[in-house]
Amino acid sequence: MNAAAARLDPHHDIADIDRRLFGGFVEHLGRHIYDGIFEPGHPSADDEGFRTDVIALVEELGVSTIRYPGGNFVSGYRWEDGIGPKDERPRRLDLAWHSTETNEVGLHEFQAWLDRVGSELMLAVNLGTRGTQEALELLEYANVEAQTAWTDRRAANGRETPFGVKMWCLGNEMDGPWQVGHKNADDYGKLASQTAKAMRMIDPGVELVVCGSSARSMPTFGAWERTVLEHTFDDVDFISCHSYYQEQGGNAQEFLASGVDMARFIESVVAIADAVAATRKSDKRIMISFDEWNVWYLHNEEGGQNDKPAEQGWPVAPRLLEDQYHALDAVVFGDLLITLLQHADRVRSASLAQLVNVIAPIMTEPGGPAWRQTTFFPFSITSRLAQGRAIRVPVESATFASAAHGQVAAVNAVATLDDEGVSLFVVNRSTTDAATLRVDLAPLVRALGRPVEVVETHLLHDDDLYAANTLGEPGRVSVRRAAASVDGEELSIELPAVSWAAVRLA
């Protein structure tokens, strides 16, 4: 049993939490939309063909802003294909995922679904095979009130009032050689700057995200950010980060250090953005949109990838990237959420990639049930409890050796403070040792002028690290009450090896 100690001081605040930190991502990929959120023949389907059992789970998950329609998909997408009468919409080849897109769901249908789940729309524009003109036309169609050919067309398609989309992504992963329309940093930076300037001529209030590196491991990482921001610094509000993690070679302990990698990624991009600001003698701060993050078993044990359909030809909605998540994955996932909150001063938006069936917290079976994967629980609990301001909670704990990151703290934590109370989120990264975390609450009690008590606890842990929720056993892994109590001005939490916990104090 390891002993860990921390101090919860409300004056060690990081920043107000932007609710967009708990965003999601829906891409036209595999069974995400078709047979996922949209299945007209399903017993639970509403009049528009959306599965209401999935809607209920997305509401429970608590996603704020949802990025759409991609992802790699957007770099070959013609947004006009998804508007107008469904029987007149063209079927197109999707080069990104080697599939056929039917365009049954487009902008109007997806907005209707967002209205049902209570989330806001974040749109990506195609800067791969298209450019500034198409981005302007989409923005005019979505946001303009004046009477024009595009707004008349929007009204004819059933929506007289604008969609009012606030946040826009200027392409997707344009640094990646796999991307249709891949560009070097100089060419992309020029195009993104030109597009951003033109979009602001139509709607000065939009918030724009420029593409950062697809991963910290990209050979152009760092140089890409610097070059792109030198072109776009005055034009954009955010730069994107994308990062996925997976256990490799059965090394669970190394996998549990993933949050350290995410933290270093964020801090590196912040440093580059601020260096560009310094050379321009500017006090503007570029924020981070971590608009793709998750556990993703992209590479199998043989070193191959699972991102192409097994079916021959160009199938519709093939089973792609349908990862089954274990208890271990959920603990790492919870730690990634802690890391995002620890950087809430600069990470002002984040999108869990993705939501349904595709590397997702929610799974469905055609004509059958929907269920929660293990990663569902830390997201739904954190999105509900993490309100107000993020608070630093430095922890003194045992460490373990990571090949990639050196000595890593076994216990990691962050807190949030709102008018009703305090939420504490904790992870024990050790694969061998349980830990008792004792948190000094004296600074909190003094600041509040009254004692606190534990009112809600959650623990995610399973003795079998590879236990998972499946179609046959959808409730195998869940959360239970954590062993947490307050004695005077000290909070004590018992953390089994490989566990994530949340504690609410009132």
Q: Is 473 annotated in the active site?
A: no
Range(s) within the chain of domains with CATH label 2.60.40.1180: 2-8+392-505
Sort strands 120-125 and 167-170 into parallel, antiparallel or unpaired. Answer: parallel
Closest CA to 64 of 27, 22, 25: 22
Distance CA 324, CA 458 (A): 22
* Annotated catalytic residue, options 39, 101, 137, 292: 292
- For 193, counting Cβ atoms within 10 Å of its Cβ (0-12 exposed, 13-18 middle, 19+ buried), the class is buried
pLDDT for res 208? 98
- Based on its alpha-carbon atoms, the radius of gyration of the chain, rounded to whole angstroms, reads 23
Distance CA 297, CA 328 (A): 13
Range(s) within the chain of domains with CATH label 3.20.20.80: 18-385
Residues with Cβ within 8 Å of residue 277, at least 6 apart in sequence? 233, 283, 284, 285, 286
* Annotated catalytic residue, options 27, 39, 173, 225: 173
SS3 at position 239: strand
Distance CA 229, CA 350 (A): 20
Specify which residues 391 forms β-bridges with: 13, 415
SS3 at position 397: coil
pLDDT for res 312? 87
Distance CA 68, CA 168 (A): 10
Q: Which CATH number fits domain 2-8+392-505: 2.60.40.1180, 1.20.1070.10, 2.40.10.10, 3.40.50.300?
A: 2.60.40.1180
Distance CA 135, CA 125 (A): 6
Q: Is 173 annotated in the active site?
A: yes
pLDDT for res 346? 98
- Alpha carbons within 13 angstroms on the beta-carbon side of residue 166 total 8
477-497: string of b/e by CB count within 10 Å (b at 16+)? bebeebebebeeeebebbbbb
pTM above 0.85, yes or no: yes
Specify which residues 310 forms β-bridges with: none
What is the CATH code for 18-385?
3.20.20.80
Q: What is the pLDDT of residues 445-470, one digit of tens each?
A: 999 999 999 999 999 999 999 999 99
pLDDT for res 175? 98
In the chain, which stretches have pLDDT less than 70?
300-305
pLDDT for res 307? 79
pLDDT for res 302? 58
